Amino acid sequence: MKQLELSTMRIFVGVAEGGSMSAAAEKCHLTVAAVSKRVRDLELSTGNHLFQRHARGMTLTAAGRSMLQHAREIIFAVDKMQSEQRQLAQGVAGVVRIASMGSAIAHFLPSDLKEFFNLHPGVAIELSDATSADVVEAVLEGRADVGIFLASANHALLKIYDYYRDALALVVPITHPLAGRGHVHFADLLEHEFIALARRSTIVQTMIAASEGALRIRLHVHTSDALCRMVGAGLGIGICPLKAARSNRRVVPIDVLALDEPWAVRQLLIGVRPDEDGLSGAARVFLAHCRAAASVALADELAGADARAA
């Protein structure tokens, strides 16, 4: 195989993701003829057909799918190197790329990041918000150094550590018949209409599965804050992280009820690629910091439980 150029890899990925030569040409600021030549040269170099041509576009062959995975890893690695070098030239001691589920970003990461920055002011953080499944994929593909996601996600290929525990709660209007009950079973809620988070969110997927198709969703929103506001306006009931519900209860006319369901208590994990030695020094320090913070929080939680039991 001839030596491959990074620009060719970017063009190939552009065609694969866009599904056509024209889409890649627009993205890469090239002519369609130039993109076509690069793809043809790449196929000749590899000895494989990478695309199947159709009237409506192009799809990857098995060889193309394999090439796409490697091309993405190469591009991500080069972009990561260039970004870190720019940061180092500006006096930054390192960069940590974090992909995290939204609940952790909203309720757990802020305090951990503040303490981390106080201890390591020369480290830069690049933080992205995604579903748990997408977080795992980002870490596996090298787009993130560290991922924070739910234990229910398929993380078999990652090296994992416990982070925080998260609970879900039911939110109802303050005047709702369920208000004041303290706790409820999910099966008793299915006669009501729900305000729900995004369709792809783990919470909504869990609710759909638990309802066996009986869930009635009036509308979807993107954040727990928006969900609580909609519930407060009387548009329905909703399920969201307990911390978000309690925070919104101060400013929105809602009541917060505990969910008596095993799936309402969720374990958050921190995951890295199996070759942990490949992490940058900054990423290793951040991982250790988060693990220590989570251990302290768990110890405090257990101490509180013992005190209540006494």
The per-residue pLDDT for range 184-193, each reduced to its tens digit, is 999 999 999 9
pLDDT at residue 303 in the model? 56
Q: Could you give the CA distance from residue 214 to residue 227 in angstroms, rounded to a whole number?
A: 20
Q: Tell me: pLDDT of 302 over 70.
A: no
Instruction: Detail the DSSP E strand segments found in 8-153.
Output: 51-54, 57-60, 94-100, 123-129, 146-150
Contact assessment for residue 256 and residue 249, using Cβ atoms and an 8 Å cutoff: yes
302's CB contacts (< 8 A; 6+ apart) are none
Q: What is the mean pLDDT of residues 203-221?
A: 93
Amino acid residing at 256: V
Most confidently predicted of 48-52, 104-108, 152-156, 236-240:
236-240
Least Cα distance to 51 among 64, 40, 36, 42 occurs for 64
pLDDT mean across residues, the chain? 89
Q: What is the mean pLDDT of residues 275-287?
A: 83
Domain segments of the chain as ranges: 6-77, 93-310
Least Cα distance to 67 among 5, 109, 131, 9 occurs for 9
Q: For 93-310, which CATH class?
A: alpha beta
Q: What is the mean pLDDT of residues 236-256?
A: 95
- Compute CA distances 41 → 46, 51, 64, whole Å: 9, 13, 14
Q: Tell me: pLDDT of 305 over 50.
A: no
Confidence label for 89 from pLDDT (cuts 50, 70 and 90):
low
Q: Tell me: pLDDT of 306 over 90.
A: no
Least confident of 76-90, 185-199, 233-247: 76-90
Q: What is the mean pLDDT of residues 49-57?
A: 89
pLDDT at residue 304 in the model? 54
CB atoms under 10 Å from CB of 182, counted, come to 11
Confidence label for 83 from pLDDT (cuts 50, 70 and 90):
confident
| CATH number of the 6-77 domain | 1.10.10.10
Q: What is the mean pLDDT of residues 229-257?
A: 96
275/103: higher pLDDT: 103
| Continuous segment of H or E residues that includes residue 173 | strand 159-173
Q: Could you give the CA distance from residue 114 to residue 90 in angstroms, rounded to a whole number?
A: 21
Percent with pLDDT over 70 in the chain: 93
* Per-residue pLDDT reduced to its tens digit, 22-52: 999 998 899 999 999 999 999 998 899 999 9
pLDDT at residue 266 in the model? 92
The radius of gyration of the chain's CA atoms, rounded to the nearest angstrom, is: 24
Contact assessment for residue 147 and residue 139, using Cβ atoms and an 8 Å cutoff: yes
Q: Tell me: pLDDT of 18 over 50.
A: yes
Contact assessment for residue 10 and residue 21, using Cβ atoms and an 8 Å cutoff: no
